Structure formats: C-alpha cells, structure tokens
C-alpha cells in the first residue's frame, strides 16, 4: 500500500512538473525579446516586410506586452490595422500564454516550497523519483518535437495550430493583417529551438539534482 502511494505520488508529481517546466520554458522564451531583435537583421525582416527595423521592434514589443500577465485587455498595434479574425486569434494566443504563465509561476512556487521543505526536513529517496520521471518525459517531448520540426517545420507549425486552435484564424491575409509580414515563420522556428533547448537544460538540472540527492 505504501509503495503504491509512492508510485502514485511520483507519477503525478512527474507529470505536473513536466507540464510546469514546459510552461516555464515557453514563458521564458516569450520574455527573450532579444531573439526577435536578433532576427530583425538575421532574417532581414525590414527587407522582407517593407517596414523599418524600428517599426518591427515597436510593434513586436507591443505584441509581447499584450501577452504578458497584467497586459492590456485589447491589442492595439501602433503601426498596423487588424481584421476581426486577426484580433480573435491574438486573443486566443494571449489566453494560452496567460495560462502557461500562471502554470509557470505555480510550478516555480511549488519547486521553491519543496526545496525549502527538503532543506529543513530532509527527503526520502522514494519521494525523489518524480525528478527522474520529469526529466524522461521532458527529454522525450523535446526530442520528438525537435525531430518533427527538423523533418518538416511547416507541417509541425500547422499541426501545432490545429491542436491549440479550433479555427483557421491563424492563417493571416497580409492585406488585412499586415503584422504577419514582420513575423516570419523562421522566427517561430528559432523560438521553438530555444524552447526545446531550455527544456533540455531544465531536465538535465533535475536529473543532476536527483542523482546528487540519492548519493547521500
């Protein structure tokens, strides 16, 4: 009965932690504005879009601010008009990012509380298996995602949208939603690569912590 309790605890904690780490990674990359700033020149976004680097940066910052906790309720881009469907899509994206940020903050608080508890009370080895389970789940998720992205980025990008959205509002018409001109697919690919890298780093950290605890 006790062993079953530990198995359930570790399985549930591992799944919860994996979801939180993914949300932390996505939220962290959302805050890494320098990725887009770098891609402005790297991908020659001004040359592709016809808008200056300053316009690209200002509107991107507005978009990111909108998607953060405490951001504006309505998206108003300084340089671009928006269609009704475009506004709906951005609202749906915001809802997803806000939920991820809440999960990320919840995960960070939970991890911090667990570390404080362990530092004061100590920890049983049977209660640390969730760390390895989390790492395995994350490595599998990151690896599978990376393979799909490398094999066919466009198909992976489309599949992701089909999973998260129940409409095709994400397919922008540049004439009605010109903001899409400053958001090339390659930029989202780079974000995906960084998210996968952050997930791998965090899962490696959990594995190192697991081994260190269980060597005591």
Read off the pTM.
0.90
Query: SS3 letters for 7-64?
Result: HHHHHHHHHHHHHHHHHHHHHHHHHCHHHHHHHHHHCCHHHHHCCCHHHHHHHHHHHH
Which residues have a Cβ under 8 Å from the Cβ of 200 and sit 6 or more positions away?
Answer: 138, 139, 142
Cβ proximity of 134 and 17 under 8 Å: yes
Cβ proximity of 75 and 66 under 8 Å: yes
Alpha-carbon distance of 36 to 198, in angstroms, equals: 17
How far is Cα of residue 65 from the mean position of the Cα atoms in its chain? 16
pLDDT, one tens digit for every residue, the chain (216 residues): 446 666 787 888 889 999 999 999 999 999 999 999 999 999 999 999 999 999 999 999 999 999 999 999 999 999 999 999 999 999 999 999 999 999 999 999 988 888 777 666 666 665 778 888 998 999 988 888 888 888 998 888 998 899 999 999 999 999 999 999 999 999 999 999 999 999 999 998 888 888 887 776
């Amino acid at each position: 009965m006790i062993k079953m309790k530990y198995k359930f605890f570790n399985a549930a904690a591992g799944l919860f932690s994996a979801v939180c780490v993914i949300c932390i990674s996505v939220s962290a990359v959302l805050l890494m504005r320098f990725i887009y700033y770098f891609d402005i020149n790297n991908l020659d976004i001004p040359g592709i879009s016809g808008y200056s680097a300053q316009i690209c940066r200002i509107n991107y910052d507005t978009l990111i601010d909108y998607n953060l906790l405490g951001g504006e309720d309505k998206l108003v881009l300084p340089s671009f008009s928006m269609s009704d469907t475009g506004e709906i899509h951005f609202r749906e994206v915001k809802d997803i990012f806000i939920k991820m940020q809440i999960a990320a903050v919840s995960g960070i608080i939970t991890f911090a509380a667990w570390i404080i508890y362990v530092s004061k009370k100590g920890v049983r080895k049977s209660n640390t298996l969730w760390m390895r389970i989390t790492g395995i789940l994350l490595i599998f998720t990151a690896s599978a995602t990376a393979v799909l992205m490398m094999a066919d980025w466009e198909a992976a990008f489309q599949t992701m949208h089909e999973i998260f959205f129940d409409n095709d509002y994400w397919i922008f018409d540049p004439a009605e939603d010109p903001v899409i001109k400053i958001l090339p697919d390659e930029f989202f690919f780079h974000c995906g690569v960084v998210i996968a890298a952050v997930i791998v780093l965090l899962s490696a950290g959990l594995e190192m912590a697991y081994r260190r605890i269980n060597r005591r």
